Every structure is written in C-alpha cells, then in structure tokens.
Amino acid sequence: MSPARLKDDWTSWRDKPRAANAGTEEKRKQGERWAALNEFVRRNGGAVTSVPGNKTLRVEVPKGSELPAKLAELGYNVAAHGTITRVTGAQPVSPKVERATRTVPSAFAEMDVLEIRLDGR
C-alpha cells in the first residue's frame, strides 16, 4: 500500500495563475461582437431581441428600413424571418390636433425580423 499523500493547503491553488482557456476567450470576443452590433442596430432604429452571448442575433427593424442593407454591406449574412407587430407606444395627441389632421396615432408598428449569425456562417 502506498503512503497517503497530503493535500496542499488552500494557498497553493489560490496563488496559481489562471490558465488561459480558449473557450473563455472566444466567449469574451463573442460578447464584445454582440455588444457592438447591438449598439449599431439601436443607433439605426432597430431592436435586438435575442439574449446576450447567443450565436444568433435576432433583430427587429421597421418595415422599409435600410438597416438590413447596411448590415449586409458590413459583411454580415442577414436572413429575413418574416414580420411581426410590435407595441411601440404612441405619442399623446390632443383631440384638437387629431381632428385637424384626421389621423389617429397607432401604438403598433409592423417590423421585419432578421437573423444574423455572429460566427460568420
């Protein structure tokens, strides 16, 4: 029977440098790409509806928006996934203005749904 080995105390693992994990680095980069693309989409009138860190980014843009063309121009593979109705809220309009313009503001907007893969496929 071999002699029992004593386990190191907690200071031995506390002072070890953390091993560079390639998966962790890739996830960090993917998170940075997601955040940058989210900012770009928001600045151009769209909304990202997928969770952060996901490989597929789901984006809602107003109908007729130029955002899909801009994303394709930047090299992203943009896939259309239909349309939805989004509750956006309407600005309050006084009855006097409503009667004068004969339009009723709508709290709903038709949006195109797009998917973009962050891994470049």
Q: Residue 119 has which token pair?
A: 């891994």
Evaluate whether residue 18 is within a structural domain.
Answer: no
H or E element, residue 108: strand 108-117
For 50-96, the pLDDT digits (tens) are: 888 778 889 999 888 999 999 999 888 899 999 998 887 777 667 77
**In one letter, which amino acid is 120?**
G
**91 vs 36, residue with greater confidence:** 36
Evaluate whether residue 17 is within a structural domain.
Answer: no
Evaluate whether residue 56 is within a structural domain.
Answer: yes
Please give the residue range of the domain that contains residue 46. Answer: 23-83+113-117
Evaluate whether residue 103 is within a structural domain.
Answer: no
Evaluate whether residue 106 is within a structural domain.
Answer: no
Evaluate whether residue 65 is within a structural domain.
Answer: yes
Evaluate whether residue 52 is within a structural domain.
Answer: yes
Could you give the CA distance from residue 64 to residue 81 in angstroms, rounded to a whole number?
15
Evaluate whether residue 75 is within a structural domain.
Answer: yes
Could you give the CA distance from residue 48 to residue 115 in angstroms, rounded to a whole number?
10
Phi/psi of residue 3, each to 5°? -70, 150
Whether the model clears a pTM of 0.85, i.e. scores above it, the answer is no
Phi/psi of residue 22, each to 5°? -65, -35
Instruction: Domain count for the chain, please give it.
Output: 1
